[in-house]
Amino acid sequence: MGRSARIIILEASGSIRTGEASATGVYAMEERSPLDRRAFHAELERVRADFHRLRAEASPTDLRRPTDGTRWTNEQLLFHMLFGYMLVRVLLTLLGVFARLPGVVGRTFARLLDAAARPFHIINYLSSAAGSLYYNHHRMGAKMNRTLAALQQRLDRESTDSLSRGMHYPPRWDPYFQDWMTRADLYRYPTQHYDFHRAQLTLGPTHT
């Protein structure tokens, strides 16, 4: 089979299709819905309110309690949920670099990262355990406010064309990472990550 490259097709409706381009044409086409900016802002406001409520209602005992399905405590997992939004700001910048490079560069980089999935998961655990020592229960609320505001402002500056640009990612690093993700996908990612981990919190009297 000849060399292939991922392409982006922007429909007149605003939806995005991605696929593999080869010498014989396009295959493995995927439909991607456009990013609804108003809905995105509303989702972040939902997350902001929910995060502050979780913090406000959590007792010191709650924060020290182990979570359901992870090795983190509730306080550490709350930071990890915040960290997803912090991380995507870095990933958006990284995408801006790789989207301008030959496809083979990003593809090779993603494969190298994917091969290092095992040490990554160890680092991922330790970094959130350590990060919660600084961005603890008292500090993480303000950090969440600043991070969400920065993402909202950044999205407002994005063009339809910039939202359609993408790069390869290591899918073994996170259940919500895909082999190919556009900038629009990245904006969606941290709330998927937040909602997934929220279900693992063990806060409140029902978990005593």
In tens digits, the chain (208 residues) has pLDDT values of 333 444 433 333 333 444 443 333 332 334 556 889 999 999 999 999 999 999 999 999 999 999 999 999 999 999 999 999 999 999 999 998 988 888 899 899 999 999 999 999 999 999 999 999 999 999 999 999 999 999 999 999 999 999 999 999 999 999 999 999 999 999 999 999 999 999 999 998 777 6
What integer pLDDT is reported at residue 204 of this predicted model? 84
Which letter does DSSP use for residue 33 in this model? Answer: P
What integer pLDDT is reported at residue 122 of this predicted model? 94
Compute CA distances 71 → 8, 9, 93, 136, whole Å: 39, 42, 30, 17
Q: What is the rounded CA–CA span in Å between residue 130 and residue 102? A: 36
Q: Are 63 and 201 in contact (CB under 8 A)?
A: no
What integer pLDDT is reported at residue 33 of this predicted model? 67
Q: Are 19 and 9 in contact (CB under 8 A)?
A: yes
**Which residues sit opposite 181 in a β-bridge?**
167
35-207: which CATH architecture?
Up-down Bundle (1.20)
First to last CA, the chain: 58
Three-state DSSP state, 6:
strand
> Is the pTM for the entire model greater than 0.85?
no
Q: What is the rounded CA–CA span in Å between residue 58 and residue 37? A: 32
Three-state DSSP state, 95:
helix
What integer pLDDT is reported at residue 126 of this predicted model? 95
Q: Where are the beta strands (DSSP E) in 76-176?
A: 166-168
Q: Tell me the one-letter amino acid at 145.
A: N
What integer pLDDT is reported at residue 208 of this predicted model? 62
What integer pLDDT is reported at residue 157 of this predicted model? 96
Q: For 98-131, b where at least 16 C-beta lie within 10 A, e where not — what string?
A: bbeeebeebbebbeebbeeeeebeeeeeeebbeb
Count other Cβ atoms within 10 Å, centred on residue 162: 15
Q: Where are the domains of the chain?
A: 1-34, 35-207
